[in-house]
A and B are shown apart, each in its own frame.
Chain A
Amino acid sequence: MDSALIPNGVKRCSMGKFLLWNSIIGLVLLWGVFALLLCWIKGLNQTNMNNAYGFALWIWADLAVIALGGGAFFTGFLRYIVGKEELKNIINYAVLIGFICYSAAQLILGIDIGQPLRGWFIFWHANIHSMLTEVAFCLSCYFIVLCIEYIPLILENRQTDKVPFFHNLTHNMHEVMAIFAATGAFLSFFHQGSLGGVSGVLFGRPFGFREHIFGTIWPYTFFLFTWSAAACGPCFTILVTKITEKIAGKKLVKDNVIDLLAKISGWMILTYIIAKTADTLYWAFVTAPSTGFILAKFYTENPGSVYGYWILFLEIVICGFVPALFLIVKKWRRTPVLLWTAIILAVIGVSLNRWVLVLQVLAVPVMPFTDWNIYFPSWQEIATTILPVAYGILLIMISYRYLPIFPQEAELNPIEPEPEPEQEAKPEGKAEEIKTKAGEPELKPAEA
């Protein structure tokens, strides 16, 4: 039915199967939209946030998807600025994943603010000293860059590509894409960093506060966030690619491309986690004690040990050093199970880091006579957080079906000519019989 829209040389599932899966994911999306409308119409009392937990699941989701979407800017940086040619075979998908992550982040922010219709105040009445202002500006600008990077991909659809204007536009956009990749890397450096600064500047919250470089400009979390997004973002790109390959049942990207990205990611994670360890040690033994806090105060005596030392161990060792080593050692990263383990751990690690620097910051009691604040999200919060995931899956399904996202797909999965239907249908011997019948006209493939 839609074969004219499907890229040349590749095979896709039937329209019925495609629509069925779209409908299932669409239902999840509608559930999220329902929760979103509840939050907009009835207000944020639909959440389990409170005056102690002003930031919660949504802000974590925002920070996490932006970190995971970091694969787009860093892969673009490697491909266009550093000149890693092999990565041209995964850059499309990295851009699509980045586009999904950043649009999801903006959607979540639109739900999270108490007065959504005033959201534009952040641009109009901008406080240049606020990390959130920097986040808003850079994030919006980078989203525009992602749109610019995604547009040529859309225009490469078989039908739109037939239009000379679109064809030439796509060609010319590809020619200048290095400029956008550089702009994207520049903007991402700042908004990823600013997100790190969100908790790092909170000098009233000793768990989140970090020393500042150059005196008062940027806390160290600024650089750690940028570094971790560049390190773990590509792992998420690889993970989604691998999941897509599993679902599609075929290889979409050659091993050497994955291998290169994984290797770079491994070194990035290793250097990041060393810096993160140094930051943690300095914070634990110098910064926090200067305000009367010892490490045990942050990690003990909380209900159910929700925030125990295990978080530190999990984030730094299990989801930091372990995936770094798995990805750096050639033999290990070329072992599928270890590659899968490493990319999953890296994704969990960066997400956990964002969780800790949003929720644990608020959970730790600061006034000596107050207790830990423990929070569990409401179903409306969970549904609205799943909403962008469903939206992302839908966009991937549609893009994969109709756009040439994976340049190596056709080469990796050559379509063999279909056997003659008669031969397939008839048992051996019968086919021979048919062929020998004289005078009967042969069926044309289309008619058959």
Chain B
Amino acid sequence: MEQVKDKKFGMVIDLDKCTGCGSCMVACMSENNVPFREDETDKLLSVAWMRVYKMTNRKPYPDTEVCYFPRPCMHCEGQHSGHSPCVSVCPAVATDYSTATGIVSQIYTRCFGCRYCMAACPYHARVFNWFDPVWPHGMEKSLSPDVSVRMRGVVEKCSFCYHRYQKAMEKAYVDGRKELEENEYQTSCTQACPAGAITFGDLNNTHHEVYKIAQPDHKHHGKSKNPKVFRLLERLGTNPKVYYLSSRKWVRQLGDNYRPDEIMK
């Protein structure tokens, strides 16, 4: 069943609220059957759809400030519809941009593991399955039946818990509806965050909380009208659908690269 209007699902992460607890990462791994290994010391080999970075203002004590920075897939739209950095380069259409939801998908069974999308993504949101997924004995019983497990040799990434969207749409269909309520489709990280730092919803829907905070200007590729809201590496033209909120200027400044002669606008 098709929805009436195209959606642009996105999120706003309030960096002033994030405590860096990592609940979003745990919830994401559990929800999406993300594999892990016994030895996870090398984080560059880890499979993590949601990763929390630690940033500092690079000032010595006692002026040091810390900010934790959760980074899911940005579900970039690019400068024209669907021209996200990764989708445009995948040679086998194993990743695609949905104009109906604004979600960048990943088709695991079509991906042949060339990793061009990983090279294209400036956010390191895409990870490769370097190893066979193996769960501790018995733990395979706790895997979610709604999300397929991935095989070695393919790329995977955050899907904005797309299976939850599918389930919500199925329920709406049974109820005879074509549209979802705001709370019917929420990602697992949003629900798991104890500080309520993540707000998820439709950026096209003016009634949704995410729209009210992000205030996207769709005439200018979704750029926020809220002075405290920014997007990561906005100037690259990736047009991400994940927004960040912070009252601290140094945090907002670390969201992009600036030349020494530049004053952040």
What residues of chain A lie closer than 8 Å to B113, measured between beta carbons?
A: 44, 113-115, 118
Min distance, Cβ A66 to any Cβ of chain B, angstroms? 16
Once the chains are docked, how many angstroms separate the CA of A362 from the CA of B115?
A: 12
Complex: chain B residue closest to A202, CB-CB: B120
> Does the CB pair B89–A115 fall under 8 Å?
no
Q: Per a CB cutoff under 8 Å, which of A54, A114, A122, A201 touches B88?
A: A201
Least CB distance, A91 to chain B, in whole angstroms: 33
Give the residue of A118, A202, A292, A373 whose beta carbon is less than 8 angstroms from that of B112.
A118
Question: Which of B130, B235, B237 has most A Cβ within 10 Å?
Answer: B130
Bitwise interface map of B from 227 to 241 toward A, beta carbon under 8 Å scored 1, else 0 = 000001101111000
Task: Give chain A interface residues in 160-216, CB to chain B under 8 Å.
Answer: 198-199, 201-206
Residues in A whose Cβ lies below 8 Å from that of B120? 202, 204-205
Q: Mark B107-124, 1 if CB is under 8 A from A, else 0.
A: 000111111101111111
Interface on chain B toward A: helix, strand, loop, or mixed SS? loop
Once A52-B44, A114-B115 are accepted as A-B contacts, the answer to whether A43 and B128 lie under 8 Å apart by CB is: no
Q: Mark B147-163, 1 if CB is under 8 A from A, else 0.
A: 00001111100000000
Q: How many A-B residue contacts, CB cutoff 8 Å? A: 164
Q: Which of B46, B119, B232 lies in contact with A54, CB distance below 8 A?
A: B119
Q: A250 CB to closest chain B CB, in angstroms? A: 45
A44 and B92 contact, Cβ closer than 8 Å, known pairs A114-B112, A367-B122, A369-B254: no
CB-CB under 8 A for A127 and B93, given A51-B128, A369-B254: yes
Which residues of A93-135 have CB atoms within 8 Å of chain B's CB atoms? 112-116, 118-119, 121-122, 124-127, 129-133
Tell me if A51 and B45 are in contact (CB < 8 A).
Answer: yes
The distance in angstroms between the C-alpha atoms of A203 and B235, with both chains bound, is: 10
Given the interface pairs A202-B85, A367-B233, the reply to whether A54 lies near B118 with Cβ below 8 Å is yes
B260 to A294, Cβ gap below 8 A?
A: yes
Pick the contact of A114: B110, B153, B256, B258 (CB < 8 A): B153
Taking CB atoms, residues of chain A closer than 8 Å to B111 are 114-115, 118
Residues B259 and A294 in contact, CB atoms below 8 Å apart: yes
Q: Is A45 an interface residue (CB 8 A)?
A: yes
Question: Does B175 belong to the interface (CB within 8 Å)?
Answer: no
Measured in the bound complex, the distance between the Cα atoms of B123 and A131 in whole Å is 21
Cβ-neighbour of A127 out of B90, B115, B236 (below 8 A): B90
Q: Within 8 Å CB of B197, what residues of A?
A: none
A436 at the interface (CB under 8 A from B): no
- Interchain CB contact under 8 A, B89 and A201: yes
Contact B236 A206, beta carbon cutoff 8 Å: yes
Per the bound structure, the CA–CA distance linking A124 and B90 in Å amounts to 13
A50 CB-CB contact with B under 8 Å: yes
| In the complex, B262 has a CB within 8 A of chain A | yes
Are B153 and A202 in contact, with the CB atoms below 8 A? Answer: no
- In the complex, are the beta carbons of B122 and A44 less than 8 A apart? no
Bound state CA distance, A254 and B227, in angstroms? Answer: 72
Answer yes or no: A23 CB below 8 A from chain B CBs. no
Distance from A135 Cβ to chain B, minimum over Cβ atoms (Å): 8
| Measured CA separation A203–B45 after assembly (Å) | 25
Please judge, given known A-B contacts A54-B115, A127-B90, whether A367 and B128 are in contact too, CB under 8 Å. no
Contacts of B132 in A (CB 8 A): 43
Q: List 25 A-B contacts (CB under 8 A).
A: A43-B132, A44-B128, A50-B130, A51-B127, A52-B124, A54-B118, A113-B113, A118-B110, A121-B92, A125-B93, A125-B110, A127-B93, A136-B91, A203-B85, A203-B237, A205-B122, A206-B236, A290-B235, A291-B236, A362-B119, A367-B124, A368-B254, A368-B255, A369-B55, A370-B53
Task: Known A-B contacts: A115-B153, A125-B93, A292-B259. Give 7 more (CB < 8 A).
Answer: A118-B112, A127-B90, A129-B89, A130-B89, A204-B233, A206-B236, A368-B255
